């Protein structure tokens, strides 16, 4: 809630970009980022800067070519974003932050209730797609003569 006590906590005016991670946010996320692969060259890119680039793209909706020059190159940011999506790092980040938010709000880590709307219940009661008559969904064939001519007589 936006109270005078909470406002300073969410003030992002001292950051380079409003989408940049604060030190507290980075402390939560950093352990969830995978380490560099073994056997390869040492990682030379600052992963926090890459994540700031990802957050900039996601928060502004700008084109990759419009990524500011003081962030890592767009190819590097894009490569890490695709890699983290493929190895499910983004899913793990989302889940960890989701659980933390629920616990801070005094709730269970995972929801214990589900909401089902009345349309879903009505469809399930009738049997869903199995109850739809086949004749109404079948493609109807035209009874008109086809424009295709047969050069040989058709056998019946």
Q: Which tens digits make up the pLDDT trace of 87-106?
A: 999 999 999 888 888 888 88
Q: Which two tokens stand for residue 52?
A: 């700031």
Rounded to the nearest angstrom, the gap between the alpha carbon of residue 154 and the centroid of all alpha carbons in its chain is 57
> What's the rounded Cα separation, in Å, for the pair 156 and 101?
72
Read off the pLDDT band of 82 (50, 70, 90). very high
| Model confidence at 13: pLDDT above 90 | no
Is the whole model's pTM more than 0.75, yes or no? no
CA dihedral sign of residues 67, 70, 75, 81: negative
Helix ranges, 4-46 (H): 23-29
Residues contacting 140, CB < 8 A, separation 6+: none
């Amino acid at each position: 809630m936006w109270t005078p006590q909470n406002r300073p906590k969410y003030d992002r005016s001292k950051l380079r970009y409003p989408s940049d991670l604060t030190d507290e946010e980075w402390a939560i996320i950093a352990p969830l980022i995978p380490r560099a692969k073994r056997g390869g060259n040492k990682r030379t890119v600052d992963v926090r800067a890459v994540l700031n680039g990802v957050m900039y793209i996601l928060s502004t909706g700008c084109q990759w070519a419009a990524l500011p020059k003081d962030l890592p190159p767009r190819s590097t940011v894009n490569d890490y974003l695709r890699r983290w999506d493929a190895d499910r790092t983004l899913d793990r980040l989302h889940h960890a932050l989701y659980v933390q938010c629920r616990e801070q709000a005094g709730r269970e880590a995972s929801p214990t209730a589900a909401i089902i709307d009345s349309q879903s219940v009505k469809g399930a009661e009738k049997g869903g797609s199995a109850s739809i008559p086949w004749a109404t969904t079948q493609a109807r064939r035209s009874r008109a003569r086809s424009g295709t001519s047969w050069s040989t007589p058709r056998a019946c």
